[in-house]
Chain A
């Protein structure tokens, strides 16, 4: 089984709809992250959480919100989706320490019409 899973893997929605993307991990990591990736661009950090009670904005948090329901779960919400939020979304996990390696999920492709 995959260590970091994302649901759904693909989603098409309409402008103005509320969308939730979910991420679960079995790695036991405290840190979780949400990124978006646009064609021809690198990943950009949306939100990150260093533990269940810690939520921090990343580079591009406007239009998004997150919830850390448990150590293993970190969900990303788009309260009112807009077309420029069409992108590939990745969840990642990591641990505190010398090695800052992050482990990525398979991604969710979101299309907002």
Chain B
């Protein structure tokens, strides 16, 4: 079946460097994508979202890029800080009249080296 997955399960970066977390999806009909951050012992927390009719969206220190040609989603974190250490999940949503399908990726663990 179709699924959302991640290229790398773990990522270590130096404090101050930029981080890039990748996600591959296979359902070309998905119309909405979200990145979540999950810290140890907590529930996922919304970071940023992007609709399928966009290719880039920026937030505070974060940017999400969507490449529909290769079905790839990425999360860029600028000037990574120790507080960014967490597991990051992408999720794709396919919604329409009377239907709703959400699929999470397996997650990438980001470790920030001081």
Partners in one complex: yes
**Which of A40, A43, A45, A50 interacts with B89 by CB under 8 Å?**
A43
**Which of A42, A56, A107 interacts with B104 by CB under 8 Å?**
A42
Contact flags (1/0) for B32-46 with A, using CB distance below 8 Å?
A: 101000000111111
B contact patch SS: strand
> Which residues B86-108 have CB closer than 8 A to chain A?
89, 91, 93, 95, 100, 102-107
By the criterion of a CB under 8 Å from any partner CB, how many residues of chain B are at the interface? 22
By the criterion of a CB under 8 Å from any partner CB, how many residues of chain A are at the interface? 24
A101→B36 CA distance, assembly (Å):
10
Contact A42 B89 (CB under 8 A): yes
Report if A103 contacts B (CB, 8 A).
Answer: yes
Contact A106 B42 (CB under 8 A): yes
Report if A100 contacts B (CB, 8 A).
Answer: yes
Contacts of A59 in B (CB 8 A): 103
Query: Are A104 and B44 also in contact (CB < 8 A) when A42-B107, A44-B104, A56-B100 are?
Result: yes
Contact B43 A106 (CB under 8 A): yes
**Which of B49, B95, B106 interacts with A42 by CB under 8 Å?**
B106
Contact A42 B4 (CB under 8 A): yes
5 A–B contacts from the bound complex (CB under 8 Å): A4-B43, A41-B107, A101-B34, A105-B43, A107-B42
A residues adjacent to B (C-beta < 8 A): 4, 35, 40-45, 48, 50, 56, 58-59, 90, 92, 99-107
